[in-house]
Each structure stands twice: as C-alpha cells, then as structure tokens.
Amino acid sequence: MNRRNLFTSALALGAVSLMPNMAEAKKAKKFVEGTFPEGFIWGAATAAYQVEGAWNEDGKGESIWDRFTLAPGKILNGDTGKVACDSYHKYLEDVALLKAMNLKSYRFSTAWTRIQPDGTGPANQKGLDYYSRLTDALLEAGIRPLPTLYHWDLPQELEDRGGWPVRDTAQRFADYADIMARALGDRIENWSLFNESKAFTQIGYWQGAWAPGRKDPLAFFKATHTVNLAHGMGFKAMKAVNPKLKIGSVFDVSPQIASTESEADKAAAVFMDKLSNLWFVQSVLTGAYPEGVLPFDKQNELLGFLPGDNTLMQADLDFIGINYYSRTRVWDAQKPSGVPGLLLPDTEWAFGDHEKTDFGWDIYPQGFYDILKRMQAVTGNRPIEITENGAAYNIGPDATGAIHDAKRIAYYKGHLDALSRAINDGVPVRGYHAWSLMDNFEWAAGYSQRFGLTYVDFANDQKRTIKDSGHWYGEVAKANRTF
C-alpha cells in the first residue's frame, strides 16, 4: 500500500476517526512568530580574554592577546584585557546575573594559558581550580556550562614556536583538550573546541589587525589546516577520555550575497561561501576541503596537507555552534592575493541601507534565517546552537542609573523572531546565546563597543547593572517567546 492509498483508506473510516487528526494538523500549523519549542535553551556568552582579567594571576602564562594589546597602536585607546570585567574574581556575580535573567546556559571560554602557561606540559592546578569553581557555581544555579576551549588566546610560547601555521600546534591543542576533558568531563557534558576559526586565522594571520598581528596569506592557509587538524585531534582526544562527552565547535557564518546578477558576481559569491562559510565546518565534518578555492595542484603544498590528514582532521561533531551578526556582499574583482594561483573577489561586510548598530554593523535578521537554512544543509541536520548573536549600543546609565537600551531589545526581537521562523521551518536549533552577558573587551575596538545585556562600569570597580535589554531577555527566557 502506498501513502496515497493509506490516506484514502483513512478517509473511508469516516469523520469520527478523521477529526482528531485534522485538529492535530491544524494545531501543528498554527505557528506564532517569536515562540520557541518546549525545552529551548536560553543562554548568554562571554570569552576568557574579554572578561576575566587577572592576566598574570595564579600561574597564568602569557597569551598572544596579552602580548598584542601591549604593542602601541594595535588597540583603540591602548586598552588591554588585563582587568577587563574582572570575572576571574567576580564570577559569582556573573552567575547571579545569569540566574537573574532566567538563563539556563552559560557559554564561556577557558584560557589555555591558565591551564598550560606555555602551551605544553602538565596542568596548572590553580587554573583548573578556577574553572572547576565556576562550573560548580553554574551547576548549583541550574545553569549548563558550555565552555569553548579556544577563543583566540594562544599561549605566546606556542606562537613563538610558529603558532597556528605550524602543524605541531594541533597536537598541543589536543593535549590541552585531553586535560580539560579529564579535569571537568565529570561535570561538563557539552564542549566547543574552537570559536570562529575563520575570524582568528584571517584577521590574526592574514590581515594582522588581531593577535598575533601577522600579515601573511601563506601563513593563513597553513593556519587553517592546523586548526582543522586540531578539530579532529581534539575531538578524538576528548572522546577517548569519555565517549559520552558531546563535542561541537563554533563557526562564524554570513550569507554571501552577489552584488549583481552577473555570472561573475554570482560565481564570486559561491567562492566566498566556500572560503568563508565552509572552509572549516565542511572540512572538519567530511575530511575534505571545498573544491575550487585553492588551485587543485597546489592545495596540499599550500596547506601542508599530508597523506592521512583527511582522517586526522575529520570529526563527527555532536553539535554545531553558529555565530551570526550580519551578511556580506561580494563582487568579482580577480584581485591578486599573495597566494600563487588564488584571485580574490571584493567583499563588504554589513552593507545595506538598513539601520546600523553603533559599531556600524547592518541589522539584517533575514540573513540569520537564510544562513541557518544554508548551514542546516551543510551540516547534515545535526543539532545547532546559536552561540553568539547580538549588537553594540553604547548607551550608558541615566540619572537614576538605569540603562534604557531599547535599540538592543529591537535587535534581539528581530533576530529571535527570524530564528523562531527557521526553527518552525525545520532547522534543528536547540539553544540561543546572546552576545554578550556583559559589556567587555571588544578586541581591536577595546572597550569602545558595548555588547552587553549588563552594563559594566569599567571606571568603578567593574560594577554590573542589568540593562533594560537584560530584563527583557530574562522575560523572554522565562516565557519562551519574544514580546
């Protein structure tokens, strides 16, 4: 019996048996924008260098960001993460903020240099103790810890040995991942390996605007391969400690829009989708690089790809973390790249006539929907967590001390509504983390851009005050819907 026959014979059973089915089907169809499935996980995100401070306490080693921020002219206003939000000492206040906002997941990152000050060798117990205390405090508050192992703070010693362009760094990362799984795998189930592999390799090794500040396209491609190897090796190391651990990674993605309908611009957008959206996630999931980015006959040499690397770098990630901020416009330019045989299109990030955030980023919620659909196809329908999404608005306290950041609320509402549509249309997103729990160190922009749901008074002992957006988000988390 085929499906059509089954349906007609069900009809023949008459109205009585049919009615409940119809009622159910109707109920299933009645989607209300801004509502989320039961059990949806609401959270907020931060990263070690951006919030912890305590840059040289309790045996912590020097990271590339500790070094880079001290070089003159690299960071706006000469800001550094030496103190940041002082979360290393105020983590209990941070857990209380999460709790006050009814959040059930905290995405933070662990600083490699607290665990292995030089990037190799035995663990620094005091560093492990900090993350253990944080984990216990979260669990006690009913909040799921979701650590990221690498949010860009490579031990300076490893950079001195060549950094990510050097293959050995992948093994160093796997050792660090092994230490973390052993130390905290009893209490933490879900882990992310990397944050935004594209961003830190591209801006750190090719453009030079972030640590370690290199401007070398050849080093960039080598770095991408080491990072992909580190995904596979780190994943396997953690699963060997405990196969029940759920290991994912976080990818920054953006819809690549051809600037015109011309064939050349459309091809340029496809090219950028491969380089920008697929180069890490697809390569890790399948063990093979997207074709048509690097010249085929030079690819292995340019990446330092050795026989067997496809198996080494492959990882069947348990979930995919997605960071979305805006979309990208692409047009054909055939610009020399510094890599033999590689010509590049021109791109413009965060373009358009829409309203912009204070950072100048275009507000485009539909892009969130579009990229989620795209990533669902690429990642074979595996669970997705939104690990970052948010906006910088540099709104300070009024005379009463309240922070009325209605614009941020509007930003979140637009994006959450788009997300709810994507979920309703079948994209398997199980959680959302706002960037960020609190204002923090925004890389080359220093403290000039405030992304927080919580205001941090950097001049006054890092005092935290929940903004209007934080209160609103707390209500969203409680009701499982937007307002």
User: What residues make contact with ligand GCO under the rule CB under 6 A?
Assistant: 47, 50, 195-196, 199, 252, 323, 388, 435, 442, 451
Nearer Cβ to ligand GCO, position 84 or 477?
A: 84
Instruction: Please report, for the chain, how many H helices and E strands are present, in that order.
Output: 18, 13
State the nearest-atom distance from the C-beta of 20 to ligand GCO, in Å: 47
Beta bridge partners of 257: 329
Both structure tokens of 343: 């010509």
Q: Tell me how far, at minimum, the Cβ of 47 lies from ligand GCO, in Å.
A: 5
Which residue is associated with the tokens 């990030």? 349
Give the Cβ contact number of residue 225 at 10 Å. 26
- Residue 99 or 151: the one with the smaller Cβ distance to ligand GCO is 151
Closest alpha carbon to 175 in 114, 233, 246: 233
Contact call for residues 465 and 403 (beta carbons, < 8 A): yes
CB of 443 to ligand GCO, least distance (A): 6
Shortest reach from residue 357's CB to ligand GCO, in Å: 10
Q: Which is nearer to ligand GCO, 350 or 403 (CB)?
A: 350
Is 196 a known active-site residue?
yes
Out of 52, 159, 388, 442, the active site residue is 388
Residues 474 and 418: their CA atoms lie apart, in Å, by 19
Q: How far apart are CA 268 and CA 347, in angstroms?
A: 9
- Pair 387, 192: CB distance under 8 Å: yes
Length of the chain: 483
Quote the least distance from Cβ 262 to ligand GCO, whole Å: 31
Give the tokens for residue 236: 């396997």
C-alpha distances in Å from residue 15, one per residue of 8, 19, 29: 13, 6, 20
Separation of alpha carbons 48 and 181, rounded Å: 18
Active-site entry in 196, 263, 348, 385: 196
**Cβ closer to ligand GCO: 75 or 128?**
75
Active site residue 57: no
Compare residues 150 and 289 and give the one whose CB is closer to ligand GCO: 150
Q: CB-based burial of residue 333 (10 Å sphere; 0-12 exposed, 13-18 middle, 19+ buried)?
A: middle
- Nearest to ligand GCO of 76, 199 (CB atom): 199
Active-site annotation, residues:
196, 388
